[in-house]
A and B are shown apart, each in its own frame.
Chain A
Amino acid sequence: MTGSLLLQSLILGVLLGGLYALLAAGLTLYFGVMRVVMIAHAAFLVLAAYLAWFANSRLGIDPLLTLVVTVPLFFGIGVLMQRLLIKRLRPATLTMMSVLLTFAIALFIEGLVGFVWGGTQRRIQLSYSSASIEIFGARIAVVKLIAFGLAALSLLALYLLMKHTRFGQALRATIQHPEAAQLVGIKTEGVAGLGFGLGLATAALGGTALSLDATIYPSLHWHWIGPLMAIIVVGGLGSIPGAAIAALVLGVGQSLLQVPLGTTWAQTIFYVALFVTLMVRPQGFFGGRLAQRF
């Protein structure tokens, strides 16, 4: 491996890891707030990507502008989903039943997307799709940089929201100890709904970022949910910084492993990391088992 290929792969890995980080952040949030395993997260991601593609190719709107619609829309869907569906699950079996419920939702979205836009692979074509910037002999594609920037900004916003607002404090209190949060007067039910909406809003952001430089098709979400689930376990369920760090490490790892091992085997890094985590440190490497700290 030459030095320039190493640098190039490293940069590609960081760019990919940034996207993984945003997507995993949403996924870990659901679990942290509500102990819900949200299989449909990646399906919403694909749905957002399709909306961006549709706006761009059929209506001629820049894909980033679709965020104005999709982020509030997904937030609303998230709140409704929590209020109307998730809340009805019995607390004792919530985690297990949420897998079934969200699995069904994922299948429903996949079918819906296929029904409306067909099974054909789609890709957004922008005038700057193949443009790139040179840094120290490595090339960074403009679209990947935009996607990374979008992911980084969203993560920062999420972090500030969680750390420095009353809602964020309420959300974190709910994650840490729901009963205690109720005792100090936090309406944990309402907070959980908003937290779910927030998670789904990250799927809108992630899907739009993804659509800038990737091919999309209805069943693409199965390709994403596995690595994302592995990331949040490695990072420690419920821990957003843990998910972000694990995402970056595994994203870079995947990108670097692709050089000696090829595309097929590099994908296994997520599952190897998952096995190792469960054997060595089942609570995850960066957070408590259910995120004692944020």
Chain B
Amino acid sequence: MAQPIRRTRGTSITRGRTLTAAAAAAVALTLTACAGGGGGGGGGEGDGESDDPIVIGISLPLTGDFSEPGKGVQRGYEAWAQIINDDGGLLGRQVELKILDDQSNADRVVADYEVLIAQDEVDLVFGPFSTRLVVPSARVAQEYGMLFVEPAGAAAEVFEQGFDNLFYAAPAIAQDHYNYLADEILAMPEGERPTTVAVASMDDPFAQGTAYGLRDKLEEGGLEIVVDEVYPPNTTDFSPIAAKIADSGADMVIGGTQYQDAVNLIVALQQLNYQPQLAAFSTAPTNPEFSEAIGSKTEGILSPTGYTPDATWPSNVDFVEKYTEIHGNPPGEDEANAYTTGQVVAAAVEAVGCAEQGDCQQQLIDWLRENEVDTVVGPLTWDETGKPQGAHLIQQYVDGAIEIVLPSETAEAELIFPKPAW
């Protein structure tokens, strides 16, 4: 009995492998063919049929780990398209977005951009959300020579891959997000400033980038790091980490967080009645649902933010007004960064005067290297790796409302230190 079964299994496995190999070869062939056709065809299209809409290919994490911010980015992109179309379009042509769902999966995102560029022959691409997806998709865009402006790949590793087509459409990279807060803490007199720091971060390049940027600056300044924890992205039970932090009695807690992990960690810390003097968490506190998710116990929570709807940059006033008209509430950071991406690409397209695959893409890239773009997050310029040259604002929850507290020249309220009990 045993032998025939084994033999059958063996055959089916071999057949399976052969099939997979054949399928892979077929896909590779198709892709190559499409890429060749796409490059040539795209060039011709732009000259002849200028009334066609400009199609922009995007893949976003609409489900899975990053679905919350992913949908924010989607709202921002769609608002941008709607606003620019109402305004007469780009180069006189209407803009059309083609958005695919990558399920927060790095393999999916690669396949999505392959399909968008090679098969659907989109004219331009915008980036997805978050470093883990930006790096693989930027590589695809690079292979096809496409300009790749992205709203959310802020970790240092994005700029260490040697991409020559990438631009990050926000004021600063992850490591620099907390710069104003670090300066503020280190400027406090020795006796008053916090002396011990607890750090917990998701095993994610962006989350770690923000937290470790602040941690390293504080450590250099003489503060002691008493807890330094890393947890996997699928962690749901934060009690043990919170127990460690509470037990250390650290004066300050830094969370390298995305969204739900921050909510869980903060609730777990509150369950242990841990009351730090300063509490800083990345990303989550800038999300409109954050306050409700932790039961409004937000008092004094700090967070870096690349954006505030109250900023007085000319295009921002216009954006906030129109966005609020469409959605009934002002845009958040994800929406603003997506909109900024649109603005950056639009500025290049208008200046160069083309939007198609082929040589045009390199002209767009060259233009962005040399020029400054006015956006809803202020004027942006980039270094040769695509790294923006700025720092983030620091926001704090004061009496249940978000106020910008640092830097002092744009502050709406004073930084509250030590923070009130949460």
Give the interface of A toward B (CB within 8 A).
2, 4-5, 8-9, 12, 16, 114, 118-121, 123, 125-127, 129-132, 134, 139, 141, 143-144, 213-215, 220, 223, 255, 258-259, 262-264, 266
Assess the A259–B244 pair: CB atoms within 8 A. Answer: yes
Assess the B232–A264 pair: CB atoms within 8 A. Answer: yes
| Residue ID in chain B nearest A114 by CB atoms | B63
Assess the B264–A129 pair: CB atoms within 8 A. Answer: no
Give the interface of B toward A (CB within 8 A).
62-64, 67-68, 103, 203, 229-232, 234-237, 239-241, 243-244, 246-247, 259-260, 263-264, 267-268, 270-273, 292-295, 297
Known: A223-B236, A264-B231. A130 touches B67 (CB 8 A): no
Q: Which 8 A-B pairs have the closest CB atoms?
A: A119-B63, A130-B270, A141-B271, A258-B240, A5-B247, A263-B231, A121-B260, A8-B243
The residue that B237 contacts in the complex, of A132, A214, A259, A264, with Cβ under 8 A, is A214
| Residue ID in chain B nearest A220 by CB atoms | B236
Q: Which residues of B contact A126 (CB under 8 A)?
A: 295
Interface centre among A9, A114, A144, A262 (most CB of B within 10 A): A262
Assess the A132–B63 pair: CB atoms within 8 A. Answer: no
Q: Which residues of B contact A213 (CB under 8 A)?
A: 267
The residue that B240 contacts in the complex, of A118, A127, A220, A266, with Cβ under 8 A, is A266
Assess the B247–A263 pair: CB atoms within 8 A. Answer: no
Cα of A134 to Cα of B271 in the assembled complex, Å: 10
Tell me the smallest distance from the CB of A17 to a CB of chain B, in Å.
Answer: 12
Known: A123-B293, A255-B240, A264-B232. A132 touches B271 (CB 8 A): yes
Cα of A5 to Cα of B231 in the assembled complex, Å: 19
| Residue ID in chain A nearest B292 by CB atoms | A125
Assess the A263–B273 pair: CB atoms within 8 A. Answer: no
Cα of A71 to Cα of B2 in the assembled complex, Å: 44
Cα of A11 to Cα of B99 in the assembled complex, Å: 48
Assess the A132–B273 pair: CB atoms within 8 A. Answer: yes
Assess the A12–B67 pair: CB atoms within 8 A. Answer: no
| Residue ID in chain A nearest B71 by CB atoms | A120
Q: Which residues of B contact A255 (CB under 8 A)?
A: 239-240
Tell me the smallest distance from the CB of B267 to a CB of chain A, in Å.
Answer: 5
Known: A123-B260, A263-B231, A263-B232. A9 touches B293 (CB 8 A): no
Tell me the smallest distance from the CB of B209 to a CB of chain A, in Å.
Answer: 19
Cα of A130 to Cα of B230 in the assembled complex, Å: 23
Q: Is the interface of A mostly helix, strand, loop or mixed?
A: mixed
Q: Which residues of B contact A141 (CB under 8 A)?
A: 239, 268, 271-272
Q: Which residues of B contact A258 (CB under 8 A)?
A: 240-241, 244
Q: Which residues of A contact B67 (CB under 8 A)?
A: 118-120
Assess the A223–B260 pair: CB atoms within 8 A. Answer: no
Cα of A236 to Cα of B297 in the assembled complex, Å: 45
Q: Which residues of B contact A131 (CB under 8 A)?
A: 271
Cα of A50 to Cα of B246 in the assembled complex, Å: 31
Assess the B295–A129 pair: CB atoms within 8 A. Answer: yes
Q: Which residues of B contact A8 (CB under 8 A)?
A: 243, 246-247, 272
Assess the A215–B260 pair: CB atoms within 8 A. Answer: yes
Known: A130-B267, A258-B241, A263-B240. A118 touches B63 (CB 8 A): yes
Name 23 interchain pairs, CB-CB below 8 A, sorted by A.
A8-B247, A9-B240, A16-B239, A119-B62, A120-B68, A123-B260, A125-B292, A126-B295, A127-B295, A130-B267, A132-B272, A139-B246, A139-B271, A143-B271, A255-B240, A259-B243, A259-B244, A262-B231, A263-B230, A263-B241, A264-B231, A264-B232, A266-B240
Assess the B239–A12 pair: CB atoms within 8 A. Answer: yes
Assess the A259–B63 pair: CB atoms within 8 A. Answer: no
Cα of A124 to Cα of B230 in the assembled complex, Å: 25
Tell me the smallest distance from the CB of A69 to a CB of chain B, in Å.
Answer: 25
Tell me the smallest distance from the CB of A217 to a CB of chain B, in Å.
Answer: 8
| Residue ID in chain B nearest A6 by CB atoms | B247
Q: Which residues of A contact B236 (CB under 8 A)?
A: 214-215, 220, 223
Tell me the smallest distance from the CB of A112 to a CB of chain B, in Å.
Answer: 14
Tell me the smallest distance from the CB of A92 to a CB of chain B, in Å.
Answer: 11
Q: Which residues of B contact A114 (CB under 8 A)?
A: 63
Known: A127-B295, A263-B235. A4 touches B264 (CB 8 A): no
Cα of A8 to Cα of B247 in the assembled complex, Å: 9
Assess the B247–A125 pair: CB atoms within 8 A. Answer: no
| Residue ID in chain B nearest A16 by CB atoms | B237
Tell me the smallest distance from the CB of B83 to a CB of chain A, in Å.
Answer: 27
Q: Which residues of B contact A4 (CB under 8 A)?
A: 247
Cα of A264 to Cα of B230 in the assembled complex, Å: 8
Q: Which residues of A contact B241 (CB under 8 A)?
A: 258, 263
Tell me the smallest distance from the CB of A262 to a CB of chain B, in Å.
Answer: 6
Assess the B272–A139 pair: CB atoms within 8 A. Answer: yes
Known: A139-B271, A139-B272. A12 touches B240 (CB 8 A): yes
Assess the B231–A139 pair: CB atoms within 8 A. Answer: no
| Residue ID in chain A nearest B228 by CB atoms | A262
Cα of A268 to Cα of B413 in the assembled complex, Å: 47
Assess the A263–B267 pair: CB atoms within 8 A. Answer: no
Q: Which residues of B contact A263 (CB under 8 A)?
A: 229-232, 235, 240-241
Tell me the smallest distance from the CB of A62 to a CB of chain B, in Å.
Answer: 15
| Residue ID in chain B nearest A132 by CB atoms | B271
Q: Which residues of A contact B240 (CB under 8 A)?
A: 9, 12, 255, 258-259, 263, 266
Assess the A215–B243 pair: CB atoms within 8 A. Answer: no
**17 new A-B contacts at CB < 8 Å, known A2-B247, A5-B243, A266-B240:** A16-B239, A118-B67, A125-B294, A126-B295, A127-B295, A129-B294, A130-B267, A132-B271, A139-B246, A213-B267, A214-B237, A220-B236, A258-B240, A263-B229, A263-B235, A263-B241, A264-B203
Q: Which residues of B contact A266 (CB under 8 A)?
A: 240
Assess the B295–A125 pair: CB atoms within 8 A. Answer: yes
Interface centre among B64, B103, B240 (most CB of A within 10 A): B240
Cα of A123 to Cα of B297 in the assembled complex, Å: 15
Q: Which residues of A contact B239 (CB under 8 A)?
A: 12, 16, 141, 144, 255
Q: Which residues of A contact B294 (CB under 8 A)?
A: 125, 129-130
| Residue ID in chain B nearest A266 by CB atoms | B240
Tell me the smallest distance from the CB of A130 to a CB of chain B, in Å.
Answer: 4
Cα of A131 to Cα of B295 in the assembled complex, Å: 11
Cα of A130 to Cα of B236 in the assembled complex, Å: 16
| Residue ID in chain B nearest A218 by CB atoms | B63
Cα of A213 to Cα of B292 in the assembled complex, Å: 16
Assess the A215–B264 pair: CB atoms within 8 A. Answer: yes
Cα of A134 to Cα of B241 in the assembled complex, Å: 18
Tell me the smallest distance from the CB of B269 to a CB of chain A, in Å.
Answer: 9
Tell me the smallest distance from the CB of B367 to a CB of chain A, in Å.
Answer: 38
Q: Which residues of B contact A134 (CB under 8 A)?
A: 273
